[in-house]
Structure 1
Amino acid sequence: MTQESREGAAQPLGIAMIGYAFMGKAHSNAWRNVASYFDVPAFEQKVLVGRDPAGVADAARKYGWAETATDWREVLTRDDIHVVDICAPGWLHAEIATAALEAGKHVLLEKPLANTLAEAEAMTAAARQARARGVHSMVGFNYRRVPALALARELIAEGRLGSIRQVRASYLQDWLADESAPMTWRLKKETAGSGALGDIASHAVDQVLFLLADQVTEVSGRLQTFTHQRPGTSGLEDVTVDDAAWATLSLASGAIASVEASRVATGRKNALEIEVYGSKGTLTFNLENLNELRFLDATAPAREQGFRRILVNEPEHPYLAAWWPQGHIIGWEHTFTHQIRDFLTAIATGTPPSPSFEDGLTVQRILAAVEESAASKSSAVPLNGTAAVVPPAPSEGA
């Protein structure tokens, strides 16, 4: 059913979600709550899809889905399904997303876009063709919806930092610091595509592009695996992806960004830290203090300069008008609610949502260049024709 015929029949959007583990739980929470706080088009949590009948049934009961299915292909044939939210592992992204778009379903897809650059390019072509038919798609880089980072983007766009000179973006975790931590699909190249690089460095790279609306022209990188084998179901198994990644990004504006990601940084739980240095000021952010942004105004007299803490929970801040009275903070899970809100609003207005599959492809090209540089021990890999990521318009909240 086309968007026009659906609207003509005043039928709520039917939502199907594929995958119900970590990201499935986070997305389900957002679907359950978004209409309670934001004005969004009517929708129904129709069906949750998973391979294990008992597991998916239990998840559907807890997460508010009306029914379950074990075959995503059958779900795509249903006329009452208009949106497919893909929370499956990376090796399934290309097949499911392409099929959903071809079936005329709007697609929300968890990052990274794909496991390989070739898959990402094919998916972006499919998204472009679908868009011409009024079918929308978006990549789930949820940290664009952190109010403090959305505010940082606004301040940078307003020129409050002057000319941006350098950016430091690091994403550090420690869930693999223990060498006895068991093998998972995230540690195998054939299922995960890459390790810390695709898993969390993708977020850091996307933030550089989101905050600066700039273009990466050159990349140098290094990857490292510290623990080469981990206990699996039949003894020790080889780890075939990176534990940590480093990259230097040259930007078209002349700014330089350094990116670091690790899943073995002992003591760091979920530390996405961003520092943006400009000629007139500096901004810093740490995801472990999600509601805070620190700002230094270098145009003030020297005796008054110093970082000041902005508690980002005023109604004037992005997304916050829909939530609690000022002084009452929000959390990590709210970024997914904001993401669903923006996606549904884009569908309703016919506005291409952001980040698009093209934006996801841009990140994928940068990650591929990091891998190329690391493998060849090249000092720099040029990026030609990589489109700049254009951030969405600032949100007014509800």
Structure 2
Amino acid sequence: MEQRDSGAAPPTLGVGMVGYAFMGAAHSQGWRTVGRVFDLPMRPVLAAIAGRDPSAVRAAADRHGWAAAETDWRHLITRDDVQLVDVCTPGDSHAEIAIAALEAGKHVLCEKPLANSVAEAEAMTAAAERARARGQMAMVGFNYRRVPAIAYARKLIGEGRLGTLRHLRFTYLQDWLVDPEFPLTWRLQREHAGSGALGDLGAHIVDLAQYLAGEHLVGVSALSETFVRERPLLAGASTGLSGAGGGAERGPVTVDDAALFTGRLTSGALASFEATRMASGRKNALRLEINGELGAIAFDLERLNELSFHDNTEPAATAGFRRILVTESEHPYLEAWWPPGHALGYEHTFTHQARDLVEAIATGRDPAPSFADGLQVQRVLAAVEESAEKNAVYTPVQAQD
């Protein structure tokens, strides 16, 4: 690990988090760990965590190391010991909380996707720009940028090792909705999640495509589908709806199960995307391949310490994809971790995310991805939905007598 200066202790940065479920736990791990691994210019302190259920949020505070628990996020953002607010709630509350926190003088980290609509994302970006003039920072949490292999891929592309980019392929496949009896959680309701696999998974691969290529998507053509249109209601969430047979109560799924789309980048390079939570057997299969005139890279999140690289300038007799084990100290983020060959995992991306934001705050450097970057992704997602709606006409072939 990094060696620490024996001089004066760095100033503290009080962190307040809103939300304590899956992302709350992941972000807590990052904040709890980052100061023990990296030599930081500020020391993050887990000041308070907020959630509506008093017993659940208190348990989360005890489990993850937060000093205090709040049941109202509005009170959390007024605390003097909180300088940064980390928003880990469902998308329907991102805009309200993030804007209020910025207006209260706090730095903000907000989970992806930035919002549930372009209008909300635009309002958040405008608030972030106003806050930036006061010295506050705002960043959106696309944590996969912080996978060392992906950050290294970005470096190779930036150095011109792939030459002019021609074709990008991105897929993000999960299977947790394959069972039609999986309950109707908030992620399956548009009013809370904004969209389904598109926003949940597609946002990641849209961001990664633009991040790695260093350019924006300027046009898309899309298809989407909801395969299971009703699901059992969660206990205590009765709405009076029921299945056709009068059995367990069910409610409508109002988001997509899968989205497929193609796109064009500003340079003219072509891209394809696939996001689904209905891919049987795939747990967290984010895969990408980028082809350029001089070479190609490929990556699989389920083997996240590895990057495949092909140098097209080598003689054909010996050329081919080679495996790079991204665990060397000169690779991104690895200077603070273990000796070469000792692998990192998913949770480390949140530690790296925390490090980058703390350093941006301490140095006055604009963090990335910014709210403006999140807005750009939101515009792409909206264009995908618009295209999918236009392409939604489906006429099945009639069986012949």
Cα deviation 1:116-169 (Å, max 9, x = unaligned): 111011111111111011010000000000000001001111111111100000
Aligned equivalents of 1:378, 1:20: Cα separation in 2: 37
* CA deviation string 1:85-111 (max 9, x = no partner): 110111110100000000010000000
- AA partner of residue 183 (structure 1): L
Aligned equivalent of 2:294, options 257, 274, 280: 280
Contact 2:162-2:296 within 8 A present in 1 as well: yes
Q: Is the 8 A contact 1:223 1:245 kept in 2?
A: yes
CA distance in 1, matches of 2:216, 2:384: 15
1:37 is aligned to 37
Amino acid at match of 1:203: H
Equivalent AA in structure 1 for residue 68 of structure 2? E
Q: Please state whether the residue corresponding to 2:369 is helix, strand or coil.
A: coil
Choose which of 247, 254, 258 in structure 2 pairs with 1:244. 258
> How far apart are 1:342 and its partner, in Å?
0.2
Using the alignment, how far apart are the partners of 2:218 and 2:308 within structure 1? 29
Written as runs of structure 1 = structure 2, the 5 A alignment for 1:46-57 is 46-57=47-58
Structure 1 runs not aligned, ≥5 long: 1-9, 380-398
Tell me, yes or no, if structure 1 residue 211 matches structure 2 residue 208.
no
Higher alpha-carbon Rg: 2
1:54 partner letter: S
Note the C-alpha offset of 1:79.
2.0
1:369 corresponds to which residue?
383
Identity across matched positions, percent: 60
Cα distance in 1 for residues equivalent to 2:250 and 2:45 = 45
C-alpha distance in structure 1 between counterparts of 2:79 and 2:32, whole Å: 22
What is aligned with 1:292?
Answer: 306
Corresponding residue for residue 128 of structure 2: 127
Shift in Å, 1:360: 0.1
For residue 16 of structure 2, what is the aligned residue in structure 1?
Answer: 16
C-alpha distance after superposition, 1:277-316 (max 9, x if no partner): 0111110000000000001111100000111000000001
Correspondence for 1:228: 229
Report the AA paired with residue 67 of structure 1.
Answer: A
Q: Distance in 1 between matches of 2:207 and 2:11?
A: 35
Pairing 1:349–2:363 present: yes
Shift of 1:43: 2.5
Alignment of 1:308-347 (within 5 A): 308-347=322-361
Partner AA of 2:357 in structure 1: F
> Number of matched residues?
371
Tell me if structure 2 keeps the 8 A contact 1:108–1:140. Answer: yes
Residue type at the aligned position of 1:12: T
Q: Quick check: 2:173–2:286 contact (8 Å CA) kept in 1?
A: yes
Aligned match of 2:5:
none
Code of the aligned partner of 1:344: V
Structure 1 equivalent of residue 145 of structure 2: 144
Cα distance in 2 for partners of 1:71, 1:170 equals: 38
Provide the residue aligned with 1:27 in structure 2: 27
Post-superposition shift, 1:11?
A: 5.1
Deviations 1:162-186 (A, max 9, x none): 1110000010000001111111000
Paired letter, 2:258: A
> Which of 318, 328, 338 is residue 304 of structure 1 equivalent to?
318
Residue pair 1:220, 1:378 contacting (<8 A) in 2 also: no
* CA deviation string 1:219-266 (max 9, x = no partner): 111111100010114311100000000111111111011011000000
The answer on whether the counterparts of 1:281 and 1:297 sit within 8 Å (CA) in structure 2 is: yes
Structure 2 counterpart of 1:317, which letter? H
> Take 2:147 and 2:78, find their aligned partners in 1: how far apart are those partners?
35
| Structure 2 letter corresponding to 1:95 | E
Report the CA distance between 1:42 and its aligned residue. Answer: 1.7
Q: TM-score, normalised by structure 2?
A: 0.91
Which position in structure 1 is the counterpart of 2:101?
100
Match of 1:156 in 2: 157
Q: Are 2:109 and 2:138, in contact at CA under 8 Å, matched by a contact in 1?
A: yes
Contact 1:152 1:211 in 2 (8 A): yes
Tell me which moved more, 154-163 or 336-345: 154-163
Aligned to 1:181: 182
* Contact map agreement 2:31 2:44 (CA 8 A) in 1: no
Which 4+ stretches in 1 moved above 3 angstroms? none
Kept in 2, the 8 Å contact 1:229–1:237? The answer is: yes
Query: What are the Cα deviations for residues 318-339 of structure 1, in whole angstroms up to 9, with x where unaligned?
Result: 0001000011000010000000
Equivalent position amino acid for 2:230 in 1? Q
Deviation at 1:377, TM superposition (A): 2.1
In structure 1, the partner of 2:275 is 261
Q: CA RMSD in A?
A: 1.3
